[in-house]
């Protein structure tokens, strides 16, 4: 494929995914509001009700463009990414309506990883910075089954405030694109574009004050798609580094609660909204440690400021991911 | 720039990750290649998988330690 063709297809895919996400989100807002499918925005005075889930717009946009690429180019890796996104999003959609337990959700998400194995669209030789490819023929298929639930849930845990998750995914997809370009893997480069476009478009309706929330369907779709691109594209380490703020958030949370629990099951909240409408860290030692609690530790901040700081952390982790990509493929 | 503390946490986590990869892969991974009987056997992928698991475990443990230090300074000072 010529570079001009790749750029043309990439631009078209970006526009299609962006417009689909944006238009479908606007289409969903009145429908969800009319059907009273709304949830409280906890960090706003008066706790206004916001329509949720916006996930169907995200799932449709990503899957449609991936399938479009598959029809045009015939590469099964587009199909694998589309299937992982759809299954991950569908599990999230079930969770939005029926509320899975903290164990059922990651267990169900194992199913989202199966298309990668069925279509054999992975290499069991992940490339490590400085050392090149490893040979993990035995353990790698098992790691894939674990990796998709982990990335999906990790991205889901960063959905804490207005615009946090959509902006985070849009920022952290950048290093994946660069790593895939360094590898000259133009198929997966194209497969990453719908994720970037969808997250950027959804940010416009999700940023403060949110007009719609992505819900678990949107977040799990983003996380599963991210994991699928990292695995199928063989850019696992770059993906891990870019997601570091979210990984730290979920790991801090998990290590404080000592077991897998849903956020709604937590009795002592890590942060609270003060009377001055600023968010403060709980000083209760029983409250779990989260990224937001650490950000507001010792000070009180507005929701906008916290989201901006989360995005700064994402930008910094993305820069480190770019350095990791150069340490892996830059000298070839 | 108050977010600097968390940026340092991320930088430290990343450095540990790369450092762990460097140390474990320069020590454990070349070992089976030095023993002629291991060449072409299952021992090589098994040892490489163990090395990868060790890197991840050591990394997660160090993240917890960093978190404790940061939380002590910022939350429970």
Contact A139 B52 (CB under 8 A): yes
- What is the count of structural domains for chain A? 1
Closest CA to A152 of A202, A109, A198: A109
Domain presence at residue A103: yes
Q: Which residues of A230-262 are buried (b: 16+ CB within 10 A; e: fewer)?
A: bbbbbbbbbbbbbbbbbbbbbbbbeebbeeebe
Domain presence at residue A74: yes
pLDDT tens figures, A46-91: 889 999 999 999 999 999 999 999 999 999 999 999 999 999 999 9
* Tokens (6 digits) for B49: 């998988």
Domain presence at residue A87: yes
Instruction: Give the predicted TM-score (pTM) of the model.
Output: 0.92
Domain presence at residue A301: no
Q: Reduced to 3 states, what is the DSSP secondary structure of residue A225? A: helix
Domain presence at residue A253: no
Per-residue pLDDT of chain B (77 residues; tens, 9 = 90+): 557 888 998 999 999 888 888 877 787 677 777 778 877 788 777 877 787 788 788 888 888 888 778 777 776 65
**Pairs across A and B, CB distance < 8 A:** 90
Domain presence at residue A89: yes
Domain presence at residue A250: no
* Mean pLDDT score, A132-148: 87
CB A175 within 8 A of CB A316: no
Cβ-Cβ contacts under 8 Å, A249 against chain B:
none
* Mean pLDDT score, A122-146: 86
pLDDT tens figures, A92-114: 999 999 988 888 889 999 999 99
On whether any CB of chain B is under 8 Å from the CB of A245, the answer is yes
Task: Please report the ipTM that was assigned to this predicted complex.
Answer: 0.88
How many Cβ atoms from other residues are within 10 Å of residue A118's Cβ? 11
Domain limits for position A197: 3-243
Report d(CA A90, CA A85) in Å as an integer. 8
Domain presence at residue A37: yes
Contact B67 A289 (CB under 8 A): yes
On whether any CB of chain B is under 8 Å from the CB of A313, the answer is yes
Contact B45 A138 (CB under 8 A): yes
Q: Reduced to 3 states, what is the DSSP secondary structure of residue A62? A: helix
């Amino acid at each position: 494929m010529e570079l001009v063709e790749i750029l043309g297809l990439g631009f078209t895919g970006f526009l299609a995914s962006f417009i689909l996400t944006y238009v479908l989100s606007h289409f969903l807002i009145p429908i969800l509001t009319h059907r009273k499918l709304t949830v409280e925005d906890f960090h706003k005075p008066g706790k206004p009700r916001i329509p949720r889930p916006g996930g169907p717009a995200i799932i449709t946009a990503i899957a449609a463009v991936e399938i479009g690429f598959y029809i045009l180019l015939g590469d099964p890796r587009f199909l694998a990414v589309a299937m992982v996104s759809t299954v991950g999003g569908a599990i999230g959609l079930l969770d939005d309506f029926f509320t899975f337990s903290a164990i059922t959700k990651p267990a169900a998400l194992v199913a989202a990883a199966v298309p990668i194995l069925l279509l054999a669209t992975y290499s069991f030789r992940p490339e490590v910075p400085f050392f090149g490819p490893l040979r993990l023929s035995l353990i790698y298929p098992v790691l894939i089954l674990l990796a998709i639930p982990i990335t999906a849930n990790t991205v889901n845990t960063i959905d804490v405030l207005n615009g946090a998750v959509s902006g985070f995914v849009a920022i952290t997809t950048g290093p994946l694109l660069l790593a895939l370009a360094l590898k000259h893997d133009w198929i997966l480069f194209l497969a990453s574009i719908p994720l970037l476009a969808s997250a950027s478009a959804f940010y416009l309706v999700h940023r403060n004050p949110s007009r719609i929330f992505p819900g678990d369907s949107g977040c799990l779709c983003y996380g599963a798609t991210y994991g699928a691109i990292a695995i199928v594209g063989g850019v696992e380490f770059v993906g891990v580094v870019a997601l570091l703020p979210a990984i730290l958030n979920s790991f801090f949370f998990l290590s404080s609660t000592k077991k897998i629990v849903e956020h709604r099951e937590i009795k002592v909240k890590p942060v609270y909204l003060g009377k001055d409408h600023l968010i403060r860290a709980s000083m209760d030692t029983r409250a779990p440690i989260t990224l937001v609690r650490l950000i507001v530790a010792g000070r009180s901040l507005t929701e906008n400021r916290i989201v901006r700081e989360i995005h700064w952390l994402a930008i910094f982790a993305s820069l480190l991911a770019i350095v990791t990509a150069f340490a892996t493929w830059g000298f070839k | 720039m108050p977010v600097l503390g968390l940026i340092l946490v991320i930088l430290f986590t990343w450095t540990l990750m790369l450092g762990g990869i460097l140390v474990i892969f320069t020590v454990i991974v070349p070992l089976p290649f030095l023993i002629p009987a291991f060449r072409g056997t299952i021992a090589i992928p098994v040892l490489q998988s163990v090395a990868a698991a060790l890197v991840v475990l050591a990394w997660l443990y160090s993240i917890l330690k960093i978190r404790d230090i940061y939380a002590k300074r910022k939350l429970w000072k």
